[in-house]
Structure 1
């Protein structure tokens, strides 16, 4: 009886909430709905592959076909970033709220402790990974971490790492690696991975461990979290954010112009 229930509750909801913005797939979901999907997947032991899209990823998906395919074939695509949220709404795509990967991760830790699910932590530097585990012991003392592995490994080691993840009997897998590496890894091995809920969390381990400070709530609310990150590492990040933000602004302005012309009945 459980399998039809899962198909109706999860797949039906996801099909009805799937949207498209700047050629990128997104799901119009709230945080509560997203966590319910993760809970259901782990409870019923059914695979659910999760990704998020932000401004940079939408820009890069347009010039990287492999990344586009890795994102488009995921089961859940949440909107992470105010820029995507506001841009989608401007273009008439109704999205209820921002559902960021780092917030999902924080909520997932609480959910795992409450329900007895076991996460596997993959990625980041070894000291960051140890910092995450140390903080989890303080924040969630009843949480059992199924296993952990830093993100510094070669392609020929991947099969052994997948075997390690599967042997741990983890219920969920959090992959803290940069784009497009985490999307490639989760897509490539999704059929082999046994954890039910699999998601990429990017640099979220750095935030949770305390290596990187997260922007205050009011800065997040006004969509300037990216600027807060640049201020922390200007030499490394300023060009990346400048280029992707400029490219996104151009894409969005073109889309709004095309929408205006279509509404006036002017052929593209």
Structure 2
């Protein structure tokens, strides 16, 4: 099953989602129950916390169920409004967690007081700590270069004693050929990884997970965006007080203005406007 609560108007999106969820459910007799979700601008987000999400991930691995997880920020929610392929990939996810604090505030405004932030980099770090103790093999797909990926592996091994990184690949910044993707599938499957961390940026990584999910034997693919750069030490994270107050985007913008200013200038105001409309509809429905 998926976290999706409703079929979309596009038949291709609905078909892609049904196909992917059929594959996921057929690979295990009793996949674990999903956390409760609520929609923000049509994207179902988990009302959960780190502990329960990690427990669900471990249960998926134990059941040999197959799925993929995305840590959804405002940018990804807005990509899903603009790009049908991105929307299919986001709605095809087995679980989407609220990576951004503004999404948590939006859930609270709709009455979901139990919602908490499940930040992709922290989710990765917390799971890696568990995986190091449990001996869970993991694969790293992403990174800005092979050197950056190598640095990430080094840092993770230093931080989490006993962590089993079964393999890794940093894809080129271009479309891959059929042969190249086949080699990646072969490498990931041969590694025996049970979790594939994907860090190629949103929505690129979600599209990749949707496309590759049927071809990979690993139970879980998890898209965590910039977590690779953060954990490799290539980019600093915003101070905790900025994260708590929904200001992380300003910190990241100050560090990478040329890359990020268009994203934030266009999508942040559109998100606010879109959610205000959703909130007003919610209020009217409650009064009816």
Q: For residues 172 and 263 of structure 1, do their structure 2 counterparts lie closer, same or farther at Cα, with a shift above 3 Å needed?
A: closer
Match in the other structure for 2:189: 166
Segments of 4+ in structure 1 off by > 4 A? none
Which residue in 2 is equivalent to 1:105?
Answer: 124
C-alpha separation in 2, matches of 1:95 and 1:172: 27
Moved more, 69-78 or 151-160: 151-160
Partner residue, 2:15: none
> What residue ranges of structure 2 are gaps of 5+ in the alignment?
1-27
**Residue 44 of structure 1, CA deviation:** 3.0
Do the aligned partners of 2:46 and 2:115 also contact (CA within 8 Å) in 1?
Answer: no
TM-aligned CA deviation for residue 212 of structure 1:
0.2
Superposed, which structure 2 residues align to 1:3-152 within 5 Å? 6-7=30-31, 10-11=32-33, 13-14=34-35, 17-124=36-143, 125-152=145-172
1:232 aligns with 2:255: yes
TM-score, normalised to structure 1, is: 0.90
Deviations 1:10-35 (A, max 9, x none): 22x43xx1222221111211110000
Corresponding residue number in structure 1 for 2:20: none
TM-superposition CA deviations, 1:221-261 (whole Å, max 9, x none): 11111111011112221221121111111111222233333
1:252 partner SS: helix
Aligned with residue 218 of structure 1, among 235, 238, 241 = 241
Question: Following TM superposition, by how much is the alpha carbon of 1:187 offset from its aligned partner in structure 2, in angstroms?
Answer: 0.8
Deviations 1:201-228 (A, max 9, x none): 1111100011000011111111111111
Q: Secondary structure at the match of 2:97?
A: strand
**Distance 1:262-1:41 versus aligned 2 partners, 3 A rule:** closer
Give the C-alpha shift of residue 149 in structure 1.
0.6
| CA distance, structure 2, for counterparts of residue 235 and residue 188 of structure 1 | 30
Q: State the 1:104 CA deviation.
A: 0.9
Q: Which residue number in structure 2 is paired with residue 251 of structure 1?
A: 274
Q: Distance in 1 between matches of 2:252 and 2:69?
A: 24
Q: State the TM-score, normalized to the length of structure 2.
A: 0.84
- Cα deviation, 1:45-69, whole Å, max 9, x if unaligned, reads 2213111221111111112122111
The answer (yes or no) to whether the contact 1:38–1:48 under 8 Å persists in 2 is no
Name the count of aligned residue pairs.
Answer: 257
Q: CA RMSD in A?
A: 1.7
